Structure 1
Amino acid sequence: MGTPHNEAEKGEIAKRVLMPGDPLRAKYIAEHFLKDAVCFNTVRNMLGYTGTYKGEKISVMGGGMGVPSVGIYTYELYHEYEVEEIIRIGSAGALQDDVDLRDVVIAVGACTDSNYAAQYNLPGTFAPIADYELLESAVNTVREKGLTVRAGNVLTSDVFYNDDPTVNDRWRKMGVLAVEMEAAALYMNAARAGKKALCMLTISDHLYKDEKLSARERQLGFDNMIQIALDM
């Protein structure tokens, strides 16, 4: 079968997919957390693997950076490969003073400056939100592990280096917890396909405290989030 961006055959991808942005992190998850993992995609080096975790078939695949990239990969997973749920596991920059490095932020909703929703020709503004069952399961799993979790609004931005230095201040005053670059597109694709989606983020830097995790600290923080996504 395959698509222009995914060489997997139908049936090679599990109903649940974990999706980090970095394809090398997908490789890391497959090698360190999954049993008998098999690579199903190498197109554009956007690596994808299917294996088992505690006897359950599960896949992991990179989604790239930004709305256009994750929009392509998640659309194909939902529509071409009959995936039922996608859990994004990524990093984010904190906007609020009470959100700290290493915190896990679960995106209940995803504000965005992207024009992605224009394709649906809606008579208003669409609010991209998480699937409630996945959200509840994730929060409960985080609490069982004794980790810190925040659930609320995040910002999915199309711009990493913004020419306007005031944009973060304006999202911050609306209570937005953190900024990333993919959740809104994932949530819109899930809504349109009638499927499930959740975005979980590890805070890797703070935009108002000049704090950031080292490479090793990022790895440990991501391991916690990966374990949460697997144990949900």
Structure 2
Amino acid sequence: MSNIPTPHNSAKQGDFAKTVLMPGDPLRAKYIAETYLEQPRQVTAVRNMLGYTGTYKGKEISVMGAGMGMPSIGIYSYELFHFYDVENIIRIGSAGALQDSLHLMDVVIGMGACTDSNYAYQYGLPGTFAPIADYGLLSRAVEIAKKQGTPVAVGNILSSDVFYNLCPDANDKWRSMGVLAVEMEAAALYMNAARAGKKALCMFTISDHIYRPEALSAADRQLGFSKMMEIALELA
């Protein structure tokens, strides 16, 4: 019996390209599809988690929202990898800066994803798994950024289950270990890709700074981030 459509995705077999860009916000997925893709068509809208497929410079690409948090991106990326034959997922999201060297609108690439989540429990591993990006995607993204003249910071990021953390020094501890920024999805995506034998990469635009009073508006987060999007589109 076919696994598709799923309770979370109404797309048919073949509706998704081999590479899917995944912003968290489904409205950002709509914006990317309508702004950058040629002949985009909507392939799913279950729970308003919008997904589209079109072409970019002649190459088929899909874009779909992932929602907030590891449980959400865990569901959507699992289904894309296992049921829709997707090979590459590139997360394009926002993150809060932890290091002084980062500023609003800077682009960060997550080489590794630290986490406070228990997502890896399901694998029954006899130790701690280190979620990392696919090196091929990462190295190509860095080269594309250089060609486009976009500086990028590459390193560890934190995927946290907690947005409003009651532990007052939690960020200080991650910052002291050189972690660049904090977000809420990458570790689950990297683990899903590893388990499925597929490829994943997470790129972020700094939307706020944890240690400085700097933050982008909701509209900027939804419609901005063009430099990161252009790297991802060329990478796909």
Partner of 1:5: 8
Distance 1:39 1:130, change over 3 A: same
Deviation track 1:56-111 (CA, whole Å, cap 9, x = no partner) reads 00000000000000000000000000100000000000000111111100000000
Q: 2:15 is paired with a residue of what secondary structure?
A: coil
| 1:98-156 deviations in Å (ceiling 9; x for gaps) | 11111100000000000000000000000000000100111111111111200000000
1:175, CA displacement in angstroms?
Answer: 0.3
1:16 aligns with 2:13: no
Matched residues in 1 for 2:76 and 2:223: separation?
26
Rounded to whole Å, the distance in 2 between the matches of 1:103 and 1:143 is: 14
SS in structure 2 at match of 1:203 = strand
- Return closer, same or farther for 1:23/1:219 CA change in 2, 3 Å cut-off: closer
Which letter does structure 1 place at the counterpart of 2:178?
Answer: G
- Structure 1 runs (4+) deviating above 3 angstroms are 214-221
From 187, 191, 195, the counterpart of 2:194: 191
2:113 pairs, out of 110, 113, 119, with 110
Aligned residue in 1 for 2:64: 61
Distance 1:4 1:115 in 2: 24
Q: Letter of the aligned partner of 1:198 in structure 2?
A: L
Q: What is the root-mean-square deviation of aligned Cα atoms in Å?
A: 1.1
- Report whether the alignment pairs 1:154 with 2:157: yes
Partner Cα separation in structure 1 for residue 217 and residue 182 of structure 2: 19
Q: Give the counterpart letter for 2:60 in structure 1.
A: K
1:47 is the counterpart of 2:57: no
Matched residue, 1:95 = 98
Helix, strand or coil at the partner of 1:153: strand
Unpaired runs of 5+ residues, structure 2, are none
Alignment of 1:200-211 (within 5 A): 200-211=203-214
Q: Where do 5+ consecutive residues of structure 1 fail to align?
A: none
1:169 match: 172
Is the CA contact 1:112–1:157 (under 8 Å) kept in the aligned structure 2?
A: yes
Q: Which residue does 1:32 correspond to in 2?
A: 35
Aligned residues: 232
* Contact map agreement 2:31 2:223 (CA 8 A) in 1: no
Q: Percent identity?
A: 70
How many Å apart are 1:215 and its aligned residue? Answer: 4.8
Structure 2 distance, partners of 1:158, 1:19, is 19
Shift of 1:218: 4.0
Partner Cα distance (1:221, 1:108) in 2 = 23
Q: Give the residue type in structure 2 aligned to 1:158.
A: D
Shift of 1:219: 5.6
The alpha-carbon deviation at position 216 of structure 1 amounts to: 5.8
Letter in 2 for 1:149: V
Residues 71 and 30 of structure 1, relative CA distance in 2, 3 Å threshold: same
1:131 counterpart = 2:126: no
Q: 1-side partners of 2:224 and 2:100: how far apart?
A: 19
